[in-house]
Amino acid sequence: MEKQFSIVAMNEENQYWSNSISRIHPLYVQKNDIRSPFYRDYTRIIHCRGYRRLKNKTQVFYATDNDHICTRIEHVQHVEAISNIICKHIGLNTELARAISLGHDIGHSPFGHAGEEILKDLSSKNCNHFTFWHEKNGLRFVDFFETLSDPKGQKTTLDLTYAVRDGIICHCGEVNDKCLVPRKEFIELQNIETPGKTIPYTWEGCVVRISDKISYIGRDIEDAIALGILSSSQINSLQEIYEEATIKAKSRNRISNTVLIHELIMDLCSNSSPEKGLGFSRPYFQLLKNLRSFSKTTIYEHPRLKVFKNYARLMITSIFEYLLSSKEEIVSNLPQWKKSSSSPILAEYFSGWLTQYSDISYSSMDLNSVSKCIYKLDTDYSVAIIEFISGMTDHFIMKVFEEMTRF
């Protein structure tokens, strides 16, 4: 039934409204501003540098020269489109869903999930009490690192609302055969330590979590076909998987990204209610599950992708080890290291990162920039490297690696 979720939408009548629009720091107010709290978050995200860098971060296929293959920025836009239409149809807050969607992958590593695995391995071996995972990294970036100038020219952190920050750190996790219902607990988000286990605080956050899956399952297959990753027999197998799952729906469609998005959205809307939660019918849940299994074995583990994963590991690990081995020189005399480094581009950006976010004793910091100590270098130096690398784009890492290996 259309608009049936309007009674639980995140608006001023919702009992959790004040919690959901709360911010860590008060955000300046402009005269005659017509934006809602969540639309302010939406515009703050879309104008931050972390969002812009998503255009050069991998979704699935690394550093492709094909302009029509999905990148991370297109992925978040797809999630926005899907979550927006679902929320509009069932009566939830579209502005909240759109803000979460655009911001949910800001903390994603370069080279997609392969890059995330590499940074996770490096953090587990070199960082005490710190393990990298992109949802937590996304929260740290929007809370600490991403900045915008206020009307007076002072740079401030994004200071997003609780509901959007919650949607970012809770956007990952399995969509199982049980319907998704938001949690009631108002918790400290930075204390979440396990990925994929915490359910979002809002219905809109739950919609984004599901829309994330809907958005990539068909597009990844579409891109794989465009790049010649799938054989004709594998494409036929996809059609069989689709027909087997939808036989009761009497579907006569050829499987495609368009068909999958439409049918999964309509099935979700038809099978969800505030009493039961958000979920798919058994056939379409099974279809989603089978397609993810197919993509894992035939696309994500394809030999051509494994070659680049090895290359990505070499690049990321080499940069990490170079910066780690330079710790003593960097901490004792950062300006001299920056001047003498064999990798000028890397030295320029990493020195700026430490100057702005660490307790290093000398600073040439711009007085108009945000000054906050995130890292104590005697204990957090390795974490500083991990998070510095996580903000890089694919192309920037490749540029730095080329610089490091050129004589």
CATH code of 233's domain? 1.10.3210.10
The answer to whether residues 247 and 267 belong to one domain is yes
Residue 163 belongs to some domain of the structure: yes
The answer to whether residues 265 and 334 belong to one domain is no
Residue 364 pLDDT class (50, 70, 90 cuts)? very low
pLDDT tens for each residue of 395-404: 999 999 999 9
Q: Which of 248, 274, 300 is the last residue of a domain?
A: 300
Q: Calculate the average pLDDT of the chain.
A: 92
The answer to whether residues 221 and 344 belong to one domain is no
What pLDDT sits at residue 240? 92
The answer to whether residues 168 and 241 belong to one domain is yes
The answer to whether residues 177 and 271 belong to one domain is yes
Residue 2 pLDDT class (50, 70, 90 cuts)? confident
What domain range is 314 assigned to?
303-405
What pLDDT sits at residue 368? 45
pLDDT tens for each residue of 147-199: 998 888 888 999 999 999 999 999 998 776 679 999 999 999 999 999 999 99
Distance CA 261, CA 266 (A): 9
The answer to whether residues 76 and 155 belong to one domain is yes
Residue 260: CB partners within 8 Å, gap ≥ 6? 214, 217, 218, 242, 291
| Structure tokens given for 305 | 């992708």
pLDDT tens for each residue of 79-126: 999 999 999 999 999 999 999 999 999 989 999 999 999 999 999 999
The answer to whether residues 308 and 259 belong to one domain is no
Residue 126 belongs to some domain of the structure: no
The CB density around residue 39, as the number of other CB atoms within 10 Å, is 16
The angle that helices 94-103 and 37-47 make with each other, rounded to 10 degrees, is: 20
Residue 112 belongs to some domain of the structure: no
Distance CA 292, CA 133 (A): 21
What pLDDT sits at residue 174? 72
Residue 251 pLDDT class (50, 70, 90 cuts)? low
Q: Which of 257, 274, 300 is the last residue of a domain?
A: 300
The answer to whether residues 322 and 288 belong to one domain is no
| Structure tokens given for 84 | 């927006």
Residue 141 belongs to some domain of the structure: no
Single-letter residue type at 286: Q
What pTM value is reported for the model? 0.94
The backbone torsions φ and ψ at residue 157, rounded to the nearest 5 degrees and listed phi first, read -70, 170
Q: Which of 300, 318, 352 is the last residue of a domain?
A: 300
Residue 254 has pLDDT above 90, yes or no: no
Residue 374 has pLDDT above 50, yes or no: yes
The answer to whether residues 215 and 95 belong to one domain is yes
The answer to whether residues 291 and 337 belong to one domain is no
Residue 132 belongs to some domain of the structure: no
The answer to whether residues 393 and 274 belong to one domain is no
The answer to whether residues 101 and 243 belong to one domain is yes
From the list 321, 320, 354, the residue with the least C-alpha distance to 337 is 354
